[in-house]
Structure 1
Amino acid sequence: MHESDSGWIRFWNRGTWWKALLFIAAYWGVYELIGLGIGTLSGSFINLKDPLADPLTAFLMLALPILIAGILLFLFARSLGWVKEIFGPQPLRGKAWMWVAIPLLVIPIFLRLVATNWSAYSVGLVLVMAFFGLCVGFTEELATRGIVVNMLRNGGYGERLVFVLSTAYFALLHSGNILTMEPLVVAVTVVYTFGFGAMMYLSMRVTGSITWAILLHAATDPTTFLATGGIDAATESAGAAGLISIAGLFNWVYILLALLAIFLVKGHATRNKLDSPDSIDAA
């Protein structure tokens, strides 16, 4: 850190768990306000009860809010000079065991693609959902595996704690659904997203770039929604139940591997900008 850096930069470069949590809370609040604003302005001509009703509804309810949030996050990272660090090579090499996350993510994506009842959707809706996937992959990975991970590393946190906190905050982001969903559904979602977030972290580490985590995330959400025909719930548009159920079993594997990874992830990728040069250790 340079003495000429602004107070804004110095504040966020002194990364702590509570600053990362503050950032996540602020991001969630902004995202919810964006969605509320768009819903209020467009509620008279879209189907607020079914985000997959038509391409325009899907774009306004799903893609546009997360797209705007992603742009704001990118500007935030840019204001701190973190873009190169976030999107550049990972400072810690991933261990060989971390490669298991890649097939565990790819296989259920393929199963859902095969299981989806494609005849229930228009080409326009499928294209909007693909765009939505890219937006959610970019934005949520930038928020958690990008900004939060970088913030904690700058603060000198060990990689195990970086992994646990960034994954927990990713799961916490999805607890906001308590405002619109049943508590049990939200609880299950939070547990699942902790496991899924762990897979995203491992994929980022082992491939050496956040880009692959973004792409894997981008393929997961839209294929899940299209296969089940809804958001966090199956509808009459759902595809082949057997294949969807098999894909769903991987969620439990994610959780188990996430718990195991807590004991296996180690090392330091300290970019301490307060008083010392970058210090990078192998993991």
Structure 2
Amino acid sequence: MAERTNLEANGWTAFWNRGGWWRAVGVAVAYLAVYQLLPLIVQPLSNGVVDPEDLFATPGSVFFGLALPVILGSIVLVVFAWSIGWFPRPLFSRQPVRGSWWMWIAPVLVVIPIVLRLIGIDYGAYSPGVIAMTFVAGAFIGLSEELLTRGIAVTLLRRCGYREWAVALLSTLIFALLHSTNLFTGQPLTTVGFTLLYTFAFGILMYLTLRATGNLIWPIILHALTDPTTFLATGGIDQASAAAENPALILAGPATFLLIAGALVLLIFIRGDAQGRAAAGEADEADDAPAPRTA
């Protein structure tokens, strides 16, 4: 009781405990700034290491060009969540609103292309160090982006009183818009547009995975496997696979479109709300009590 009183008396914690969509957007914008600016501090160390023509040429290129920004971003997010009393709980507590059986379709739709890419990747095209470092980068991509969007953003939206359909939609829009910065990297508009569509659909499935499994760790794991397998299968970031000859990679394309279509359909059926269980301190109580069943 004394600990909770101290938290409530902390103005910083109380500010975030009130929730709100604009706070969620603010955290996302701050994360983007950190993601873009912090690596500049260590840029002198990466001179001559990052290959601008082929990011996946060497382990050092992958580390400085891909892994380091998300490692730094993950550290900042964890420190922020800890500073407001949300890490590890309530972010990694049991979900305050339980998912229905049909939500298990979401992780299945995500796992299928992961498995196909794992089978189809041309591992001989990369050194073992590049492959290992790419999966390390993927682990931190999964941690940072899920902690931000399915963790912090979802909690902020729930604490403001939004029902779960709005929570799913708004948190996923934030997730998708994180990838709009690709416009400033010179990528074609059509590529960025498809990336936004894909990340929106993927975000819906990650939200449903959060509901189905009841814990943030599972979206993090699935996300951590999605990105590195995609990078190694296509040879780049946010790129389409070029004329794949491997049967598994050929099937991965339709599986990705099935993922997008399935997510848009499943979004329609999201129901429920956290019924106040996402308020400060109440997530711990949810660990000892049955969560409400919702559709």
Distance 1:27 1:256, change over 3 A: same
Distance 1:39 1:51, change over 3 A: farther
Rounded Cα–Cα distance in structure 1 between residues aligned with 2:136 and 2:26:
29
Which residue, out of 14, 23, 29, partners 1:25? 29
Query: Counterparts in 2 of 1:28-67, with a 5 A limit?
Result: 28-39=32-43, 41-67=45-71
Select between 175-184 and 33-42 the one with higher mean Cα deviation: 33-42
1:138 corresponds to: 143
Question: Residues 22-171 of structure 1: matches in 2 within 5 Å?
Answer: 22-39=26-43, 41-83=45-87, 84-171=89-176
Is it true that 1:232 corresponds to 2:238 in the alignment? yes
The 1:278/1:156 distance shift into structure 2, 3 A limit, reads farther
Q: In the alignment, what sits opposite 1:200? A: 206
Matched AA of 2:139? L
Q: Offset of 1:12 from its aligned partner?
A: 1.3
> 1:136-190, CA deviations, whole angstroms, 9 ceiling, x for partnerless residues?
1111100000010111112221111111111111001001111002222111101
Inter-partner Cα distance in structure 2 for 1:227 and 1:86? 32
Q: How far apart are residue 46 of structure 1 and its match?
A: 2.6
CA distance in 1, matches of 2:9, 2:250: 52
Distance (Å, rounded) in 2 between the aligned partners of 1:251 and 1:93: 27
Unaligned residue ranges in structure 2 (runs of 5+): none
Provide the identity percentage: 43
C-alpha displacement of 1:282: 2.9
Matched letter for residue 19 of structure 1: R
- Aligned CA-pair RMSD: 2.3
CA deviations 1:29-58 (Å, max 9, x no partner) are: 111112444445413333133211110100
Question: Would the alpha carbon gap of residues 34 and 240 (structure 1) be closer, same or farther in structure 2, given more than 3 Å must change?
Answer: farther
13-22 or 37-46: bigger deviation? 37-46
**What TM-score do you get using the length of structure 1 for normalisation?**
0.91
Contact 1:39 1:61 (8 Å CA) reproduced: no
Flag the 1:38–1:183 CA change in 2: closer, same or farther, 3 A.
farther
| Counterpart-to-counterpart distance in 2, 1:57 and 1:239 | 25
Measured after TM superposition, the shift of residue 7 of structure 1 is 2.0
Give, as a single letter, the amino acid of the residue that structure 1 aligns with 2:106. A
Secondary structure of the 1:198 match is helix
SS in 2 for 1:86: coil
- Unaligned runs of at least 5 residues, structure 1: none
**Equivalences, count:** 280
What amino acid sits opposite 1:194 in the alignment? F
Deviates more, 1:252-261 or 1:201-210: 252-261
Whole-Å separation in 1 of the counterparts to 2:210 and 2:113:
18
Instruction: Give the TM-score normalised by structure 2.
Output: 0.88
| Aligned 8 A contact 1:93 1:282 in 2 | yes
Q: Which is worse superposed, 51-60 or 28-37?
A: 28-37
